[in-house]
Chains A and B, each alone.
Chain A
């Protein structure tokens, strides 16, 4: 048989992260409790090193290696760099939270790095087998991280729900992939794509496979009606882990949607567009309406995630390059906003106190005007109020939808975005116009304060100068 020895160069970042994760796993066992910070620093160094490697190894033309199972293109590299960045900030925000709750263990960082590796494999997967394996690597690490707080009933319940629903979704994905393999005779994204373009589009086997794959993607992203696990998992998991789940994996999930739907099954766009229209409309409506009723900020942000997933789907379902780049812009912006919002929840928490009720934000302006202002920026951005980047993200996906003639869907999205603005503005009202119930000073390290301020200011700055990020998204699609 003819076998071409693979070129390892495009996969150097993956190999580096894997080697470092294994090294940290071993180093960590020899560290005493008080030296645990070394694990943290090594993890941050790993992410930095991976970012440097990804940028230096980047080449203008897409490179496919490992017998066509791995691709390194602009999309993969840009998403990977964002995944490193966001994970590094997640680790930074979580450090003190974990120390105070006696969860500051090496496993958090090792599993976090393995999750990053899973996301990297996912964004670089060019074969349904690697996509599936990357997804499993990511999910398995996340299940364990959610369950890590063993003494909390809520965490265990959340982990159980997450695990079972995740397993069902994986089963759906595998079944869909096996049907598509049965119809096309290949697992390779490129070959599937060319098979579909050369054949009649109404192949029943392909369509059933497509439906199963969309169900699985909707499960993983949390689109209505497959959203039930999101509020429970976000609520039950320790906030540091909610912060992780709600940010970087969404970027990886977007990459999976791009590889499977846009690249692989792009020829069936007419068919999957209708399904995504329903998923997007339901997500936007139910996410925004149910979020209003929440008293717990983690649950509220969970429903807000569901509505953001709806907007993300708006960009994807347009099926044009503008739509895909708008969706990519949206997911990157969403990850930044979610990072800041959950970061604020961590900032207000302290030993023995979780600031996870919306009422805990009451009177934040009196306690700390600066962080009240940062939260104001983040909430305005999530609601999509102009000088912030959230506005441009919504504008981009809505204009992509209007361009393909689905004006009613854009109007629907705008109406529910306005309804959704209510619960973001309610937090702002609590911060500025109510008396604080909790007057303890905010106790956090300098690095957390600096980075969370930077996070919110980036959201504002990107809102004033969105051009570079939009251009970046447009070039890599």
Chain B
């Protein structure tokens, strides 16, 4: 038996466990860390499939950028988890029934009889000089140029939406304006007030 199936099963076991733990653990920081573990192992599985570019991008983009931001957000926001877990027991039976049905359906369909090696023969192995990245690039910017452009527009809309939802002038927020601070003159801030000395009668009273 070659080493590949062994590696595959090890990584798959880690992936499934980590994914389950993302949902189950109580501490959101641990959940985020398990998600990182899940990304790492799935990228290892992609490496076994010879999808090197996707595997590296998954680690670089998701683990390197997205999950780090995610961790920051989780740590910075003080989220009270108790209300989120309310009604968990009440909805559990319905959820379990639906989940089991979906799982059974998938088990019936997505199995070796439909997606086995007879139906989907394993792709031929490529040599060391084969560049996965080049192949992807050559179809991404030609055959899939149109979907690629639409994806870019979706990202633009995400930026516009995020900015329009978060950037607004709120009254009573004390933020600094450096330009104003630099341009300030003494007369704007300090005012000489001349006051009469107080009268004697007041003191005596």
Distance of A110 Cα from B164 Cα, bound (Å):
11
Q: Are B161 and A179 in contact (CB under 8 A)?
A: no
A148: which B residues are within 8 A, CB to CB? 164-165
Question: How many chain B residues touch A (Cβ–Cβ < 8 Å)?
Answer: 27
Q: Are B153 and A66 in contact (CB under 8 A)?
A: no
Known: A6-B145, A67-B144, A205-B109. A133 touches B161 (CB 8 A): no
Known: A66-B145, A148-B165, A204-B114. A110 touches B154 (CB 8 A): no
The segment from A34-42, A139-147, A321-329, A331-339 found at the interface with B is: A139-147
Distance of A134 Cα from B161 Cα, bound (Å):
17
Least CB distance, A201 to chain B, in whole angstroms: 15
Least CB distance, A176 to chain B, in whole angstroms: 12
B145: which A residues are within 8 A, CB to CB? 6, 66-67
Distance of A224 Cα from B105 Cα, bound (Å):
22
Q: A1-44 toward B: CB 8 Å interface, digit per residue (1/0)? A: 10100100001000000100010010000000000000000000
Q: B130-173 toward A: CB 8 Å interface, digit per residue (1/0)? A: 00000000110011111100110110111011001100100000
Known: A107-B164, A140-B161. A114 touches B114 (CB 8 A): no
Q: Are B147 and A133 in contact (CB under 8 A)?
A: yes
Question: With an 8 A cutoff between CB atoms, is B69 at the interface?
Answer: no
Q: Are B168 and A114 in contact (CB under 8 A)?
A: no
Q: Are A1 and B138 in contact (CB under 8 A)?
A: yes
Q: A136-160 toward B: CB 8 Å interface, digit per residue (1/0)? A: 1100110110011010000000000
Q: Are A114 and B153 in contact (CB under 8 A)?
A: yes
B154: which A residues are within 8 A, CB to CB? 133, 136-137, 140
Known: A1-B138, A204-B114, A208-B105. A121 touches B161 (CB 8 A): no
Known: A1-B138, A117-B153, A204-B114. A70 touches B146 (CB 8 A): yes
Question: With an 8 A cutoff between CB atoms, is A182 at the interface?
Answer: yes
Least CB distance, B157 to chain A, in whole angstroms: 5
Q: Are B164 and A144 in contact (CB under 8 A)?
A: yes
A6: which B residues are within 8 A, CB to CB? 145-146
A114: which B residues are within 8 A, CB to CB? 153, 156-157, 160
Least CB distance, B122 to chain A, in whole angstroms: 15
The B contact surface, by secondary structure, is: helix
Q: Are A25 and B109 in contact (CB under 8 A)?
A: no
- Between B108, B110, B147, B151, the greatest number of chain A beta carbons within 10 A of the residue's beta carbon is seen for B147
Question: With an 8 A cutoff between CB atoms, is B115 at the interface?
Answer: yes
Q: Which B109-131 residues sit within 8 Å CB-CB of chain A? A: 109-110, 114-115
Least CB distance, A144 to chain B, in whole angstroms: 3
Question: With an 8 A cutoff between CB atoms, is A409 at the interface?
Answer: no
Question: With an 8 A cutoff between CB atoms, is A69 at the interface?
Answer: yes
From B109, B142, B158, B165, contact of A204 by CB (8 A): B109
A25: which B residues are within 8 A, CB to CB? 160
Known: A121-B150, A144-B164, A148-B165. A204 touches B108 (CB 8 A): yes
Query: Which residue of chain A lies nearest to B165 when distances are taken between CB atoms in the complex?
Result: A147
- Between B146, B151, B156, the greatest number of chain A beta carbons within 10 A of the residue's beta carbon is seen for B146
Q: Are B160 and A67 in contact (CB under 8 A)?
A: no
B109: which A residues are within 8 A, CB to CB? 179, 204-205, 208
Interface footprint category on A = 35 or more
Query: Which residue of chain A lies nearest to B141 when distances are taken between CB atoms in the complex?
Result: A3
Distance of A144 Cα from B138 Cα, bound (Å):
34
Least CB distance, A128 to chain B, in whole angstroms: 10
Least CB distance, A212 to chain B, in whole angstroms: 10
Distance of A130 Cα from B157 Cα, bound (Å):
16
The A contact surface, by secondary structure, is: helix
Query: Which residue of chain A lies nearest to B139 when distances are taken between CB atoms in the complex?
Result: A1
Q: Are A18 and B153 in contact (CB under 8 A)?
A: yes
Q: Are B150 and A144 in contact (CB under 8 A)?
A: no
Q: Are B157 and A141 in contact (CB under 8 A)?
A: yes
From B139, B161, B168, contact of A141 by CB (8 A): B161
Distance of A204 Cα from B168 Cα, bound (Å):
52
Question: With an 8 A cutoff between CB atoms, is A457 at the interface?
Answer: no
From A129, A143, A150, A182, contact of B147 by CB (8 A): A129
Question: With an 8 A cutoff between CB atoms, is A72 at the interface?
Answer: no
B105: which A residues are within 8 A, CB to CB? 208
Q: Which A282-329 residues sit within 8 Å CB-CB of chain B? A: none
Distance of A6 Cα from B110 Cα, bound (Å):
36
Q: Are A67 and B143 in contact (CB under 8 A)?
A: yes
Q: Are A3 and B114 in contact (CB under 8 A)?
A: no
Distance of A11 Cα from B145 Cα, bound (Å):
13
B106: which A residues are within 8 A, CB to CB? 208
Known: A67-B144, A67-B146, A148-B164. A137 touches B115 (CB 8 A): no
Q: Which A109-138 residues sit within 8 Å CB-CB of chain B? A: 110-111, 114, 117, 121, 127, 129-130, 133-134, 136-137
Q: B81-114 toward A: CB 8 Å interface, digit per residue (1/0)? A: 0000000000000000000000001101110001
B157: which A residues are within 8 A, CB to CB? 111, 114, 137, 140-141, 144
From A121, A141, A144, A182, contact of B165 by CB (8 A): A144
From A1, A133, A150, A205, contact of B151 by CB (8 A): A133
Q: List 13 A-B contacts (CB under 8 A).
A: A1-B138, A1-B139, A67-B145, A114-B156, A117-B153, A129-B144, A140-B157, A143-B161, A144-B157, A150-B168, A204-B114, A208-B106, A208-B109
Residue numbers of A with Cβ under 8 A of B are 1, 3, 6, 11, 18, 22, 25, 66-67, 69-70, 105, 107, 110-111, 114, 117, 121, 127, 129-130, 133-134, 136-137, 140-141, 143-144, 147-148, 150, 179, 182-183, 204-205, 208
Known contacts A130-B147, A136-B154, A137-B154; can you find 11 more A-B pairs with CB under 8 A? A69-B144, A107-B160, A111-B161, A114-B160, A127-B147, A134-B150, A141-B161, A147-B165, A150-B168, A205-B114, A205-B115
A-B pairs with lowest CB-CB distance, top 9: A144-B161, A66-B146, A107-B164, A133-B150, A3-B142, A67-B143, A208-B109, A129-B147, A114-B157
